[in-house]
A and B are shown apart, each in its own frame.
Chain A
Amino acid sequence: MRRSILLTLSLALFSPALAWTQAPAAAAPKGNAEHGKKIFDGSGCYQCHNYAANGGGAGPRLAPNPIAWAAFARYVRAPRDQMPPFSRKVLSDQELADIYAYLQTIPAPPAAGSIPILKP
């Protein structure tokens, strides 16, 4: 099982889902970004998506420009793939909105061309 998970997670790294973002974001309920950051870091989101929501070997990048609110909320409640489900019992709608608000605050990264060690 552990190997299967590792394999799946490894494959996820190279999958198109890595860029799990979409602009512009659909209308979302008002959320508290600061609180959202606390939940993101405390409720397990960071574990696969990293503290900066930049994604990694275990989960796709979520920001900047997160996917539309409706798709985001639907996936968190009823994930289709490997992500553990976050039901309302453990993550309220308001908390989810706060997380989404936090993701919307994450700025764009520097251009690859501006980082010398990333140049080809």
Chain B
Amino acid sequence: MKKPSQNAVNRRRFLKGAAVSAAAGAAALVAPAAGGTQVPSTPPPRGTAPTPSAAALSAETEPLSVETPADLTVENPGSDFMVDVFKSLGFEYIAANPGSSFRGLHESIVAYGKNQNPEFLTCCHEESSVAIADGYFRVSGKPMLVMAHGTVGLQHAAMNIYNAFVARVPVFIVLGNALDANSRRPGVEWNHSVQDASSMVRDFIKWDDTPISLTHFAESAVRAYKIAMTVPMAPVVLVADGDLQEEGVPDRSKLHIPRLTLTTPPAGDPAAVAEAARWLVAAESPVILAGRVARSERGMALMIELAETLHAPVLGGGRDMPNRHPLAGGGSIATADVVLALQQDDLWGALHTYRDQQERSYRTLTKSGARVVSISSGDLYTKSNYQDFQRFAEVDMAIAADAEATLPSLIEACRKLMTVDRRRVLEERGAQIAAANAGALERARTEATYAWDASPISTARMSMELYDAVRNKDWALVNGNPNRLWNVDQFYRTIGGGGAAAVGSGVAIAVGAALAHRKHGRLAIGIQPDGDLMYAPGALWTAAHHRIPLLLVMHNNRAYHQEVMHIQRMSNRRQRAVQTASEGVGVAITNPNIDYATLARSMGLYGEGPITNPKELGPALKRAVERVEKGEPALVDVVTQPR
């Protein structure tokens, strides 16, 4: 890295000098007194200008031929090259709360990169920046750039970096930092500088680097992108040093940006896949446990193909199966003779029930002799410190591979083993599962009627009113879960859950996902918990500022309700007054109630509510949908039952 010389008046020294001058006050910028050295002890009488000295007169009247010294400006700053690197990687957006440690990069994105690919998304909190990138990836399949201070910005961002890590979502994070102590401005820049910026999050990112040259930056940026997008995907961090950003590039032709070639996801070992197929085809009551299998519509199509080949039920389908597919749901782990677990984040939890009483206990769900086959890229990548890997699950076959990439060979292997007689038997099984699922759908319809007219409004009523407002449109849910009665027929209709429960990230994930849906003209909708919103509601402003169409419907139960239940559980175990929890100390979001519609309107959204009468909900949602279809974000506050 180039070091500033002791004598050079470099950028940093200029800034330091400017700061001192500013501290001295505007007096230093007025014309000097006569002789250039003396300041009159008394000001001249009002209306009388001081007589300039000969030198001052000459300086003020000579021709404007003085060039700005070269050491005050820069040509081809390094951050322009960094923008070239970002453009080569195809980033569409960069989400950031502005920060001086990446001011060079910020300026280059706008002035040099023309604020296109990547386009700057103004965020009110680094936590929101990361969550917006998280949601954007879930729809677009492409990582988003995030910029933050290497210190305080990263501290804000850390929680959602962890959530993205747990959800195996790639986010490309660039941290500004002033590594060279000789270059730092005194004061706050020292506070905002760090020896090893990434160390704070290294336990829950996949890779990081601190390049010390622009060539190094380019190589590491391409490497970081490749690593982030290699299954299992995860966030990566690249530090953009302040001097690298701000110093000039003497010869751009000597800099090279490597070509990106993404890795193909690993498919399962053919021999193991063939053996798994034998078990599955021979099974009498197999169950497919679907985790995060599908990464695209293709993944969902493959899941359907596998289920229809085996005539086996798919549990926990999420984005993997259309929820009205005859084989979506049904079956039972308790009666299964073969369990095929695909990309399960918590396989132990799926195979056991756990009882949260004073004396904790668990029960294995699988019957004796049942075989469990796991296909998961989780076996390819495990870290130590954070415990997101969950409890160790005993299985009979563990195929360390990407489930989606393995499905074609597994389907083919199953088909090869299928005889006419076997197919007939399995078809009968499939018909029984389909009939059971049809019955379950009807029961869900009846369940939705309970408390239909209640106030606070039932969550089923809220969900069905929302669905009714959008069912004939190309909707996409970007926050919350769909009701069983919704027709979730496409991969893009949902985005899957946040990692690590993701409390506090839901609204920004929704904004990022809605942004990705915008180019497709889809109507993005979300069910927004009140507690989640209040962590960083500034994401609403980002949606309004960048004209991101999105309808958020508040699931406003006026509490951190999960915690309400936890405190109640503690009180009951200890046999204390049960009112302890109901009083809501530390968990209720009341007194005063938050007016979310006004909050939304204050940030430029269309807002309605709070709605407590269920009969008023449908019309309010239709009005909000009209606004969203015109390109606005909107929020409808609904006061709901707790769950």
Do A112 and B572 have beta carbons less than 8 Å apart?
Answer: no
User: B642 within 8 Å of A by Cβ?
Assistant: yes
Given contacts A42-B582, A44-B581, A117-B468, contact A112 B448 (CB under 8 A): yes
Tell me, rounded to whole Å, the shortest Cβ–Cβ distance linking A107 to chain B: 10
User: Which of B329, B448, B578, B618 is close to A91, meaning CB atoms less than 8 Å apart?
Assistant: B578
Do A47 and B581 have beta carbons less than 8 Å apart?
Answer: yes
Chain A residue with the shortest CB-CB distance to B345: A3
Do B582 and A43 have beta carbons less than 8 Å apart?
Answer: yes
Cα A56 to Cα B557 in complex, Å, equals 13
Do B449 and A51 have beta carbons less than 8 Å apart?
Answer: no
Write out, one digit per residue, whether chain A residues 1-16 have a CB within 8 A of any chain B CB (1) or not (0).
1111111100100100
User: Which of B357, B448, B459, B579 is close to A43, meaning CB atoms less than 8 Å apart?
Assistant: B579
Write out, one digit per residue, whether chain B residues 160-201 have a CB within 8 A of any chain A CB (1) or not (0).
000000000000000000000000000000000000000000
| Neighbouring B residues of A7 by C-beta, 8 Å | 346, 349-350
Write out, one digit per residue, whether chain B residues 452-480 have a CB within 8 A of any chain A CB (1) or not (0).
11101011100011011000000000000
| Neighbouring B residues of A30 by C-beta, 8 Å | none
Write out, one digit per residue, whether chain A residues 76-120 have a CB within 8 A of any chain B CB (1) or not (0).
000101101111011100000000000000000111100101101
Chain A residue with the shortest CB-CB distance to B564: A47
* Most chain B CB atoms below 10 A, which of A57, A79, A117: A117
Write out, one digit per residue, whether chain B residues 303-332 have a CB within 8 A of any chain A CB (1) or not (0).
000000000000000000000000001000
| Neighbouring B residues of A118 by C-beta, 8 Å | 445, 448-449, 464, 485
User: B385 within 8 Å of A by Cβ?
Assistant: no
Chain B residue with the shortest CB-CB distance to A62: B450
| Neighbouring B residues of A43 by C-beta, 8 Å | 578-579, 582
Cα A85 to Cα B390 in complex, Å, equals 28
Write out, one digit per residue, whether chain B residues 10-49 have a CB within 8 A of any chain A CB (1) or not (0).
0000000000000000000000000000000000000000
Do A18 and B447 have beta carbons less than 8 Å apart?
Answer: yes
User: How many interface residues does A have (CB within 8 Å)?
Assistant: 47
Cα A82 to Cα B354 in complex, Å, equals 8
Chain A residue with the shortest CB-CB distance to B448: A118
Do B356 and A51 have beta carbons less than 8 Å apart?
Answer: no
Tell me, rounded to whole Å, the shortest Cβ–Cβ distance linking A81 to chain B: 7
Question: Using a CB-CB cutoff of 8 Å, which residues 324-373 of chain B contact chain A?
Answer: 329, 346, 349-350, 353-357
| Neighbouring A residues of B501 by C-beta, 8 Å | 2-3, 6
| Neighbouring B residues of A18 by C-beta, 8 Å | 447
Tell me, rounded to whole Å, the shortest Cβ–Cβ distance linking B560 to chain A: 12
User: A46 within 8 Å of B by Cβ?
Assistant: yes
Cα A20 to Cα B465 in complex, Å, equals 25
Tell me, rounded to whole Å, the shortest Cβ–Cβ distance linking B389 to chain A: 12
Given contacts A56-B459, A117-B464, contact A44 B582 (CB under 8 A): yes
A-B contact count (CB 8 A): 138
Write out, one digit per residue, whether chain B residues 554-575 have a CB within 8 A of any chain A CB (1) or not (0).
0000000110111011011101
User: Which of A42, A50, A115 is close to B449, meaning CB atoms less than 8 Å apart?
Assistant: A115
User: How many interface residues does B have (CB within 8 Å)?
Assistant: 53
Chain B residue with the shortest CB-CB distance to A42: B582
| Neighbouring A residues of B465 by C-beta, 8 Å | 117
Do A109 and B449 have beta carbons less than 8 Å apart?
Answer: yes
Do B356 and A5 have beta carbons less than 8 Å apart?
Answer: yes
Cα A5 to Cα B346 in complex, Å, equals 13
Do A90 and B572 have beta carbons less than 8 Å apart?
Answer: yes
| Neighbouring A residues of B571 by C-beta, 8 Å | 44, 84, 90
Cα A44 to Cα B576 in complex, Å, equals 12
| Neighbouring B residues of A91 by C-beta, 8 Å | 578
Tell me, rounded to whole Å, the shortest Cβ–Cβ distance linking B576 to chain A: 7
Chain B residue with the shortest CB-CB distance to A81: B355
Cα A61 to Cα B618 in complex, Å, equals 25
User: Which of B356, B443, B446, B453 is close to A82, meaning CB atoms less than 8 Å apart?
Assistant: B356
| Neighbouring B residues of A47 by C-beta, 8 Å | 561, 564-565, 568, 581-582, 642-643
Do B579 and A56 have beta carbons less than 8 Å apart?
Answer: no
Chain B residue with the shortest CB-CB distance to A44: B568
Write out, one digit per residue, whether chain B residues 424-460 have a CB within 8 A of any chain A CB (1) or not (0).
0000000000000000000101111111111010111
Tell me, rounded to whole Å, the shortest Cβ–Cβ distance linking B438 to chain A: 10
User: B111 within 8 Å of A by Cβ?
Assistant: no
Do B448 and A3 have beta carbons less than 8 Å apart?
Answer: no
Do A52 and B459 have beta carbons less than 8 Å apart?
Answer: no
Do B564 and A85 have beta carbons less than 8 Å apart?
Answer: no
| Neighbouring A residues of B456 by C-beta, 8 Å | 51
Chain A residue with the shortest CB-CB distance to B329: A14
Do A55 and B450 have beta carbons less than 8 Å apart?
Answer: yes
Do B578 and A61 have beta carbons less than 8 Å apart?
Answer: no
Cα A3 to Cα B573 in complex, Å, equals 20
Chain B residue with the shortest CB-CB distance to A18: B447
A and B contact pairs by CB, cutoff 8 A, 11 listed: A41-B582, A44-B572, A44-B582, A46-B642, A50-B641, A50-B643, A82-B356, A90-B575, A111-B449, A117-B468, A118-B448
Residues of A with Cβ closer than 8 Å to B? 1-8, 11, 14, 18-19, 41-44, 46-48, 50-52, 54-59, 61, 79, 81-82, 84-87, 89-91, 109-112, 115, 117-118, 120
**Extra pairs beyond A56-B459, A79-B357, A118-B445 (9, CB < 8 Å):** A4-B349, A50-B451, A54-B454, A84-B572, A84-B573, A109-B452, A112-B445, A112-B446, A120-B445
